Chains A and B, each alone.
Chain A
Amino acid sequence: MPSAKDETFKKYIEVWEDLVSIKDLVMALLICSITTLGGYFIAPDEPPRPLFFGLFGAFLGFVICSIIIKPKRNLSETDAEE
C-alpha cells in the first residue's frame, strides 16, 4: 500500500527552512519554555541574576532537546563529486 508507505517516510514538515517532526517540535518548545521560565523564576530576585538563570535554562533546554531528539537529516559522504 503506497499510502501507508508515504506515511512512514514522509512525515516531516518544514519550519524555518529545515525539517521537523511535529511531535518533537511540540516537545522541544515545551521543554525549552519550562527550563527557561523555570530558571528565571527560581533565581534569587536581584537583577541581573534571573536573566542569567533564564539564559542558562534556555541553554539547558537546548542541550536536553539535542540529546532526546534526533535530527531529520541523512548524511551521505561520497568520494566522487555529483
Chain B
Amino acid sequence: MDGVLIIQMVLAAVIAALMYTIIGIAPGTDETATIAPVTLVLVLSGLNPNIILTFFMSAIVASKLTDSIPVALAGIPGGVMATPQVEHALVLKRFGLSDVSIQKMASGSVIGTLISVPVSLLFAHALIPFADAIKDYGSPIFFAGTIILALISKNRWLALVSIIPFSLLIEGLRHLYWNIGVVPKGANVFISFFLGITIGPVILTLFELLNKEKRDRLERYERKTIVFKKTNNMKTKANPFTILTKKEAGLSALSSVIGSAAFILSPVGLTTFLGEVFSSRIKDPVKKASLAIACMEALANATYISGVLIPLIALGIPLSPMAIGPANPLFNAPPVYTANHNMHHLLTNFDFISAAIIGSAAALIITFYITIKYSRQICVFVFKRVPHEAMLGLFFGLVLLLAYMDAGWMNIGGVFLIGIVAGTLYRLGVNYGVQFMILYSAPWIISKLAGQ
C-alpha cells in the first residue's frame, strides 16, 4: 500500500462522511436505498476496492450517527435505524437536554466503532476454518436463511407463502431475458432487481398516484412543522469517553461486543431489544434515556460494522442483514464482483483493517468534531433546502440508470414489475431481509422445484 493510495482512501472517506451527513439527516432515507446504489456505481466504475471499502465504512458510520441527530433535535428519525431511539430522545428533549442526547449518541458511536472493528476481525478469523464448509453449502444456506428470516419475522406465514411466488417472478424474468437474448444466457441480472426491491414501496406508491380514485382518496397533509430548540453552537468535549458515565460506557461496550457476535441478526430488532434490556432497571427517566441512547448507538454501529466485515473477511458470501442490504455491492455486482470474485478474494487482511480504520476514523472525526458542533445549522439547512422530491428523483434516476445498464430498456419495465410486487409484499408485511434472501436463493429454489 503506497502513499498515493492512502491519500485516495482518506479523500474517499472524507467525501463519504460529508455526503452521508446530508443524506443521513434527511428524513425517511433508508440505509440500503441510499448507500447501496452509490456503492454499486463505484464498484461498477472499476475503482480500486481499497478505496470503495473505505468509502463504504465511512458512509455507514457517518450516516448512522447523522440519522440520529434529527431525532435528538426534533424527534423525527432520519432513517429506519434511528427509530428505536425516538422514544428516549424525546424524554431528553422534554428535559431540555437535546445537546446531551447528541453527545451521548456520538460517544456511543465512537465506542461501538472502536470495539466492533477489532472484535469483528477476531470473529472473522475464528470463522475462517468453517468458511469452506459454509461456502460449499452457500445456496442451501441462503434458502435456510430465507426460511429462518421468514419464521422470525412478524408475519411469518405470509412471508413463507411469498417465497415461491416471488422466486418465480425473479427467475421468470431472468429466463425471459435469456430466451429473447437481451442478456447472454446465464448472465445474472441481479443489481437492478435488488434495487427494484429496495425502492419497491416507493414504486408502488407512484403507481397508485396514477389511479385517480386512489389519488383523491389519499390522505392529505399540510406542511409539516418541525419544532427546534434554539441553542448555541454545541461543543463536544475533546474526549468522547468523558461524556459518558462509567456505566454507560461499560454497557455500550458490552452491547457492541454482543452486537458484533450477533452480526447475523437484524440490527433494528437487536437494537430495540438490548437497549430496553439494559435500561429497563433504571428508574430515573433522564439516566435511563441517556443510557438507552448511548447503548443503542453503540450497538447499531457495531452490528453495522461487524455485519459487513465478518462475512466479507471470513466468507465472501453476504450472510448478514447488513451484507445482503447496504453492503451487497461489495459481494455481488456483476460483472465486476461475483460470488467467486469479490472483495473477499481481492483484499488482504491488512487491506480490510486499513480500510476499516481509515473509513471509520475519518467519519468519526468529521462527525464528532464538526457535524455535532454545527448540528443545528446542518439540520436547518437540510430541512429548509433539500426537498424530499429531489431525494426521490435522485434515487429514481439511479434506478433507471442501473436497470438500463443491466438489461436494456425492457428491464426498466422489469424493475417496475419487481418493484410493484416487492412493494406490495412489503406493505403486506414481508420485510426487506426476507425479500433479499429470496432474491439470493431464487435460482436454487426454482431448480429444486424443477427436480434438477
**Residues of A participating in the B interface, judged by any CB pair closer than 8 Å:** 6, 9-22, 24-25, 27-29, 31-33, 35-37, 40, 47-48, 51-52, 54-55, 57-59, 61-62, 65-66, 69-79, 81-82
Instruction: Evaluate contact between A76 and B405: CB separation under 8 angstroms.
Output: no
B338-366 to A contact mask, C-beta < 8 Å, 1/0: 00000000000000000000000000000
Q: Can you add 12 more A-B contacts, CB < 8 Å, to A36-B397, A36-B401, A52-B45? A: A19-B223, A20-B388, A25-B389, A29-B393, A37-B400, A51-B405, A58-B401, A61-B397, A75-B225, A79-B229, A81-B93, A81-B95
Nearest Cβ distance between residue A12 and chain B, in whole angstroms? 5
Is there contact, CB below 8 Å, between A40 and B227?
no
The stretch of B122-130, B212-220, B245-253 in contact with A is: B212-220
Inter-chain contact B93/A9, CB cutoff 8 Å: no
Segment of B156-164, B201-209, B254-262, B266-274 engaged in the interface with chain A: B201-209
- Determine whether the beta carbon of A24 is less than 8 Å from that of B222: no
Q: Contact: B221 with A71, CB < 8 Å?
A: no
- Bound-state Cα–Cα, A73 to B387, Å: 9
A-B contact pairs, 6 of them (CB 8 A): A17-B28, A33-B396, A37-B401, A51-B405, A72-B388, A78-B228
Q: In this assembly, does B118 line the interface, its C-beta being within 8 Å of a C-beta of chain A?
A: no
Stretch of B7-15, B59-67, B277-285, B378-386 at the chain-chain interface: B378-386
Instruction: Provide the B380-422 mask, 1 if CB < 8 A to any CB of A, else 0.
Output: 1001111111111110111011001100000000000000000
Measured between alpha carbons, how far is A14 from B224 in the docked complex, in Å? Answer: 11
Q: What does DSSP make chain B's interface, helix, strand, loop or mixed?
A: helix
Contact B383 A71 (CB under 8 A): yes
CB distance B227 to A78 under 8 Å?
Answer: yes
Complex CA gap A67/B3 in Å reads: 39
A79 to chain B, nearest CB (A): 5
Given A22-B209, A81-B95, A72 contacting B392 (CB threshold 8 A): no
Could you give, for residues 90-103 of chain B, a 1 whenever the CB lies within 8 Å of some chain A CB and a 0 otherwise? 00011110000000
What is B's interface to A at a CB cutoff of 8 Å?
27-28, 41, 44-46, 93-96, 201-202, 205-206, 209, 215, 218-230, 380, 383-394, 396-398, 400-401, 404-405
- The answer for the CA separation of A82 and B91 in the assembled complex, in Å, is 11
Distance between Cα atoms of A32 and B4 in the complex (Å): 35
Q: A48-B45, A54-B401 are in contact. Are A75 and B380 (CB under 8 A)?
A: yes
Q: Using known A-B contacts A10-B222, A81-B93, determine if residue A24 contacts B380 with beta carbons closer than 8 Å.
A: no
A14 CA to B229 CA in the complex, in Å? 25
B228 touching A32 by the CB < 8 A rule?
A: no
- Compute how far the CA of A24 lies from the CA of B201 in the bound complex, rounded to whole angstroms: 19
Q: Chain A residues near B227: list those with CB within 8 A.
A: 76-78, 82
Note all chain A residues with C-beta closer than 8 A to B404: 37, 40
Q: Which of A9, A15, A35, A59 contacts B392 (CB 8 A)?
A: A15
Chain B residue nearest to A74 in the complex (CB): B225
CA distance A74 to B401 in the complex (A): 33
CB pair A20–B392 under 8 Å, yes or no, is yes
A20 to B218, CA, bound (A): 12
CA gap between A48 and B249 in the complex, in Å? 46
Q: Which one of B205, B218, B394, B405 lies within 8 Å of A61 (CB-CB)?
A: B394
CB distance from A70 to the nearest CB of B (A): 6
List chain B residues, Cβ under 8 A from A81. 93-96, 229
Chain B residue nearest to A11 (CB atoms) is: B220
Picked from B93, B94, B201, B397, the residue with its CB within 8 Å of the CB of A35 is B397
CA distance A40 to B400 in the complex (A): 11
CB–CB A78/B229 < 8 A: yes
- Residue from the list B45, B209, B215, B230 in contact with A51, Cβ < 8 A: B45
The answer to whether B41 and A65 have CB atoms under 8 Å apart is no
In the complex, the answer to whether B389 meets A69 with C-beta atoms within 8 Å is yes
Q: How far is A50 from B396 in the complex, measured between Cα atoms in Å? A: 18
Asked if A71 and B388 make an inter-chain contact with CB atoms under 8 angstroms apart, the answer reads yes
Report yes or no: B95 in contact with A74, Cβ–Cβ below 8 A.
no
Given A12-B220, A19-B223, also A77-B389 (CB < 8 A): no
Q: Is the CB of A22 within 8 A of B215?
A: yes
Indicate if the CB atoms of B224 and A65 lie closer than 8 Å: no
The residues of A that contact B45 with a CB separation of less than 8 Å are 48, 51-52
CB-defined contacts of B400 to chain A, threshold 8 Å = 33, 36-37
Q: Are A58 and B229 in contact (CB under 8 A)?
A: no
Contact, CB under 8 Å: A16 / B202: yes
Give the nearest-CB partner of B389 in chain A: A28
Q: In the complex, which residue of chain B has the Cβ closest to the Cβ of A47? A: B46
Known: A74-B226, A75-B228, A81-B93. A36 touches B384 (CB 8 A): no
Q: How far is the CB of A64 from chain B (nearest CB, A)?
A: 8
CA of A5 to CA of B219, assembled, Å: 16
Inter-chain contacts of B93 with A (CB < 8 A) = 81-82
Determine how close the nearest CB of chain B comes to the CB of A65; give it in whole angstroms.
4
